[in-house]
Amino acid sequence: MLTIVFVLAAYLLGSVSFAIIACKLFKLPDPRTYGSGNPGATNVLRSGKKAAAILTLVGDSAKGWLAVFLAIHYAPTNNVLIAAVTLAVFLGHLYPIFLRFQGGKGVATALGVLLALNLWVGLGALLTWIAVAALFRYSSLAALLAAIAAPTYLILLGLPHEWLIASAAMSLLLIYRHKSNIENLMRGKESRIGKK
């Protein structure tokens, strides 16, 4: 029963879109109507309003962190529950009930989840993203390589295999959600970070 309650709550929390909230607060167009059409921080940045993009990034990361932090706090030895919450909050962001199951790509939420699971894994994924983004200026490429790296970091740190499975599933979903970006990268048509 506890698992069901936590998983449902995590999914609903994940379904809250901070891109939509930020754009409403800053009186910007709906992020689904411009750029990539993705309700996420990178696309909100294309509006030219950095504060809205930062709010989106922080909010989407925080909801992922909060869901997993609470699961670990209240059920520290229940690795299955923690793994289930990890996937639930992430799936809530990807397929939010409040937006007719049309959500973001999950990069910020995944970061929050990883930071809650293990600080070093989260920081490793973040530094991977920053390094790739700084070198190539492609948010999508940075996200893809960070997604590939994250499960590796869990393995190196010897963290529970349930967490590894959840992290790997999250990475595969993140890569799948970036399929159009992968095609654009291969064609040289992907938008760079900061492009309006």
In percent, how much of the chain has pLDDT > 90? Answer: 87
166-176 pLDDT, tens digit each: 999 999 999 99
Q: Tell me the whole-structure pTM to 2 decimals.
A: 0.93
126-144 pLDDT, tens digit each: 999 999 999 999 989 999 9
**CA dist 19 → 43, 58, 149, 155 (Å):** 9, 10, 26, 32
Separation of alpha carbons 174 and 178, rounded Å: 6
DSSP codes, 85-143: HHHHHHHHHHS-GGGTT-----HHHHHHHHHHH-HHHHHHHHHHHHHHHHHH--HHHHH
56-100 pLDDT, tens digit each: 999 999 999 999 999 999 999 999 999 999 999 999 999 999 999
Structure-token match 């992922």, residue found: 64
Phi first, then psi: what are they for 102, rounded to 5°?
-115, 90
CB atoms within 10 A of CB 51: 11
